[in-house]
């Protein structure tokens, strides 16, 4: 008797469902893992910096019933702990206990840790009027969704030093469904806020938290440096608009590792400003490493560079990447008017399944803030390397690589790359205005990429400064509500 045939559609859907279940299970396991025990009456966690002073949200009138607003409690708690943010102050930690803590946006302070209990859920209020409207970013000139201002992010800060957001895999829930609906129906006057945004900050460490249902982007460090995002789970419906995972924007020395992202947009998107506004600010994103990332995003990329890249993007290193049911692996998005450059991008050891395509470069990404962009500002894209890439279940094409006429994307290198197509196609590579070399690539690449080389592509061997950031064990004690609490190193 013949074996039953599995429908082709199911073959594509099953990996995606398995990925979602795997990621959800991983998040649940982390969330319910007990905190490590330290000395008697103390629990421990790891972070680059420990804090000498700790307080609980309960001490400031917090009510974790999911209905009562805790905006005042969060703001009072941060204000109280800010007295320890100065030189020699010892720093402060705000402990968010188990419960559902409804709040409007609030700001953090320097030398500060926001710590979430395993069963803590910070809920972003769905009352849009409670989200302050702030100025657009200087390097964008306007909001991304609309001209003019933008809503504040749920957890934010500016001009800070040494900020930690961590815990026992507690959750920050943006309750984004209201925002997505209003955005799609054109009922919002301003650009949606993000879950976490830190501006002009030196030293950001985000780990062991779960972020769900952001109104738009999840993690947005901008004009900042020395950033580590580690062990973070990000979950949003795959049809939710613009729910990017981690978006370093005009940032340097960034380390993203061991993160799991299911989203409606790019899992990681590296940016640096939009057209003439980004050119004027001139702050590149550079010295960035992404490793051990798992991504599910059926309509977007695992790692995107751009499209807002007018301050420049350089020295990006991606390795040990897994993607399931995702539109493309590494995507470069730019256009005339962006100016600047995307250069020195290295990717290796990528395992991809159920992809629409593997490689995607776009030199005509039609999105501008206004008509004032410089039509002579032509971006430079060069020195892009891919090595040791295996993609199975590729159902559209191996690659779509389209540069800019008169300014081709140069220095593309591919080695040991396999794209297994779901069915044979007459043309599996779609290329224009690109130049490069290749070795061991299946199916054979387009003619402009068939230059030969020694069989391997470059990958930097030096160590970035951000990879030298280490963690230490910190301890804290949780006293009953309304009782002072002490943190120790």
Residue 224: which residues within 8 A CB-CB, separation 6 or more?
198, 199, 200, 201, 202, 204, 248, 251
Query: Other CB atoms closer than 10 Å to residue 285's CB: what's the count?
Result: 27
Q: What is the DSSP code (8-state) at residue 208? A: S
**Under 8 Å between Cβ of 53 and 90:** yes
Rounded to an integer, what distance in angstroms lies between the CA atom of residue 200 and that of residue 107?
Answer: 14
User: Residue holding tokens 């004690």?
Assistant: 477
**Under 8 Å between Cβ of 63 and 70:** yes
Rounded to an integer, what distance in angstroms lies between the CA atom of residue 202 and that of residue 156?
Answer: 14
CA of 173: how far to CAs of 124, 182, 264, in Å?
Answer: 6, 18, 16
CA atoms in the 13 A half-sphere facing the CB of 374:
15
Rounded to an integer, what distance in angstroms lies between the CA atom of residue 203 and that of residue 48?
Answer: 9
CA of 478: how far to CAs of 44, 59, 101, 474, in Å?
Answer: 11, 11, 18, 13
Report which of 205, 208, 179 is spatially closest to residue 194, judged by C-alpha positions.
179
**Under 8 Å between Cβ of 154 and 132:** no
- Between strands 53-56 and 485-488, the pairing is antiparallel
Query: Other CB atoms closer than 10 Å to residue 3's CB: what's the count?
Result: 5
Residue 207: which residues within 8 A CB-CB, separation 6 or more?
46, 47, 164, 165, 166, 228, 229, 230, 231, 232
Residue 3: which residues within 8 A CB-CB, separation 6 or more?
none
Q: What is the DSSP code (8-state) at residue 238? A: T
Decide if 145 is catalytic. no
Out of 173, 244, 265, 315, which one is annotated catalytic? 265
SS3 per residue for 419-479: EEECCCCCCCEEEECEEEEEEEEECCCCHHHCECCCCCCCCCCCCCHHHHCCCEEEEECCC
Rounded to an integer, what distance in angstroms lies between the CA atom of residue 259 and that of residue 281?
Answer: 30
Q: Which residues of 387-396 are buried (b: 16+ CB within 10 A; e: fewer)?
A: bbbebebbeb
Residues designated catalytic? 265
């Amino acid at each position: 008797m013949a074996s039953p045939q599995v429908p082709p559609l199911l073959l594509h859907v099953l990996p995606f469902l398995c990925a979602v279940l795997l990621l959800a299970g991983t998040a649940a396991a982390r969330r319910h893992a007990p905190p490590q025990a330290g000395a008697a009456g103390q629990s421990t966690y790891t972070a680059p910096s420990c804090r000498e002073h700790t307080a609980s949200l309960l001490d400031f009138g917090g009510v974790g019933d999911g209905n009562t607003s805790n905006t005042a409690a969060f703001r009072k708690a941060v204000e109280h702990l800010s007295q320890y943010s100065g030189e020699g102050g010892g720093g402060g930690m705000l402990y968010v206990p188990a419960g559902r803590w409804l709040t409007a946006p609030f700001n953090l302070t320097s030398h500060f840790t926001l710590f979430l209990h395993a069963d803590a859920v910070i809920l972003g209020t769905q009352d849009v009027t409670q989200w302050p409207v702030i100025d657009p970013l200087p390097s964008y000139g306007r909001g991304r969704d609309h001209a003019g201002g933008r809503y504040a992010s749920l957890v934010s800060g500016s001009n800070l030093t040494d900020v930690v957001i961590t815990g026992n895999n507690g959750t920050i829930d943006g309750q984004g469904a209201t925002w997505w609906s209003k955005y799609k129906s054109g009922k919002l006057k301003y650009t949606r806020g993000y879950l976490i945004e830190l501006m002009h900050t030196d030293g950001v460490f985000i780990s062991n938290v779960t972020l769900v249902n952001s109104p738009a982007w999840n993690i947005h460090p901008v004009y900042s440096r020395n950033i580590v995002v580690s062990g973070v789970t990000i979950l949003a419906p795959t049809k939710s608009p613009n729910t990017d995972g981690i978006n370093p924007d005009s940032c340097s020395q960034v380390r993203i590792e061991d993160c799991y992202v299911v989203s409606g947009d790019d899992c990681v998107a590296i940016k640096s400003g939009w057209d003439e506004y980004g050119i004027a600010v001139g702050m590149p994103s550079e010295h960035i490493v992404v490793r051990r990332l798992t991504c599910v995003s059926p309509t977007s990329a695992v790692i995107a560079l751009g499209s807002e890249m007018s301050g420049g993007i350089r020295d990006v290193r991606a390795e040990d990447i897994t993607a399931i049911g995702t539109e493309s692996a590494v995507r470069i998005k730019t256009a005339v008017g962006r100016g600047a450059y995307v250069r020195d991008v290295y990717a290796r050891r990528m395992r991809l399944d159920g992809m629409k395509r593997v490689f995607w470069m776009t030199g005509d990404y039609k999105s501008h803030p206004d008509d004032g962009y410089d039509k002579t500002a032509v971006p430079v894209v060069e020195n892009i390397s891919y090595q040791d890439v295996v993609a199975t279940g590729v159902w559209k094409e191996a690659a779509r690589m389209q540069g800019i006429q008169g300014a081709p994307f140069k220095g593309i290198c591919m080695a040991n790359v396999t794209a297994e197509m779901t069915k044979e196609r007459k043309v599996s590579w779609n290329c224009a205005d690109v130049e490069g070399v290749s070795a061991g690539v299946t199916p054979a690449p387009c003619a402009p990429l068939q230059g030969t080389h020694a069989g391997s592509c470059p990958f930097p061997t030096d160590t970035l400064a951000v990879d030298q950031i280490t963690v230490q064990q910190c301890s804290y004690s949780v006293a009953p509500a309304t009782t002072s609490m002490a943190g120790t190193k």
